[in-house]
Amino acid sequence: MNVIIQIFFSIVLALITFFWLRDARRIQKLHSLLDRAEMGLEKKRELQSIEQAKLDAVLSSMFEGILLTDDRGQILLMNPSLRKSFFIHFPPEGKRPIEVIRNVTIQNMVDQALQTPGKLISEEISLTLPEEKFLRVNAVSIVRENSVEGAILIFHDITELRRLEKVRQDFVANVSHELRTPVCSIKGYAETLLDGALEDSNSSRKFVDIIYRDSTRLETLINDLLDLARIESGKMKMVLLPIHVSDVIEKTMAIIENQAKIKSIEMIVKTQSSLPKILADETRLSQVMLNLLDNAIKYTPKSGVIHVEAARQDSFVQVDVSDTGIGISSKDLSRVFERFYRADKARSKELGGTGLGLSIVKHIVQAHGGEVWARSQMGQGSIFSFRIPCE
């Protein structure tokens, strides 16, 4: 009997041990599975974090503005570029665009995109503060499994495109005007001569002089336009040779001195001794000097003074042309090198010129690897400077 009891207890103990070991293995296996699941989740979280960082980096580095809304039109995301454009310094998430951007057109675009799935909506908006800016905005709904989940708007800054378009329009208008004026004058006086004025020697002489003057003006304008077109397209041939700036200044002064004498303007030249040579096209550099000196003489009153100075500045040779003329306002100063731009339109028309001289100066200097700039104050004259690298 004792043997049977002993065997029974042994069997029970064995069964308990078996089930305990089996459960222990299961628990161990469960722990292992949980550990692996946790590692998998951690890896997924890490991958999600990496992907989120990549997305944030892309959105932060984009020049285009991005606005993302949910299906109710509330903002989910607005990238830094868009926040900067609209000066948004608070969290916009959860708000409607009209509450954040304060632009009815943008709010209407969001509403329309949510109501018309698959349709691209495009509008152009303008901002005025702190400076004028133009934006092209494209909006489209986000659709998944035939359900609208939100809208995305992309903002493209087209300010430079609009500026260039205006420059082109102004250029065409100015060229048309500048060409029409002498052509109409030439045609008018030629018709007068043909109608009988040829018989009057005094009148015919006067009319022929006007025709000659305006035809010369027309020729100058066309030559300037052709020069500018060649320079801007890189097709102007430049013969670069080692030359002394002082030689160019001396030759230019000889050409322009009679023009200065007529107005009793004193021309003072000061060049630094032992100036290094520069690698330049002498003809084109002379054109730069002539344009700058011609402008200085035109806008300097009688008995004024013009200074021409040349000196070495680091690895450049710098030339300054200063006058005691009427000066240029700060508003106009940044635009004086634009084609056809004239600070004082009435006075410029009276003094003549094509309005292309300073633009040609800028492009020639830049073609030599140099730079040009101007300083001025109203009533205190102007200083036009350029510098070109030493040889």
Distance of CA 282 to the CA centre of its chain: 31
From 388, 370, 360, select the one nearest 244 (Cα to Cα).
Answer: 388
User: For residue 182, what pLDDT is reported?
Assistant: 79
Q: Which of 322, 328, 251 is nearest to 290 (CA)?
A: 251
- Per residue in 353-380, pLDDT (tens digit) is 567 888 889 999 999 999 999 998 888 8
The residue-averaged pLDDT of 284-310 equals 91
pLDDT recorded at residue 99? 92
Task: Check residue 50 and give its pLDDT.
Answer: 66
Mean pLDDT in residue range 333-342: 79
- At 26, is the pLDDT very low, low, confident or very high (cuts 50, 70, 90)? low
- Mean pLDDT is lowest, of 100-114, 136-150, 189-203, for 189-203
The pairing of strands 382-389 and 316-323 is antiparallel
The predicted structure's pLDDT at residue 384: 95
Q: Cis bond leading into 130, ω under 30°?
A: yes
The CA radius of gyration of the chain, in Å to the nearest whole number, is 39
- Looking at residue 57, its pLDDT comes to 62
* 8 Å CB contact between 66 and 59: yes
pLDDT tens per residue across span 215-262? 887 887 788 778 878 877 777 788 899 999 999 999 999 888 888 899
Least confident of 87-91, 181-185, 302-306, 357-361: 181-185
Q: Average pLDDT in the 278-291 region?
A: 91
Domains belonging to the chain, first-starting first, are 60-157 (3.30.450.20), 159-236 (1.10.287.130), 239-391 (3.30.565.10)
Mean pLDDT, the chain, as a whole number?
Answer: 82
Amino acid (one-letter) located at 212: Y
Determine the number of helices (DSSP H) and then strands (DSSP E) in the chain.
Answer: 11, 12
The fraction of the chain above a pLDDT of 90, given in percent, is 36
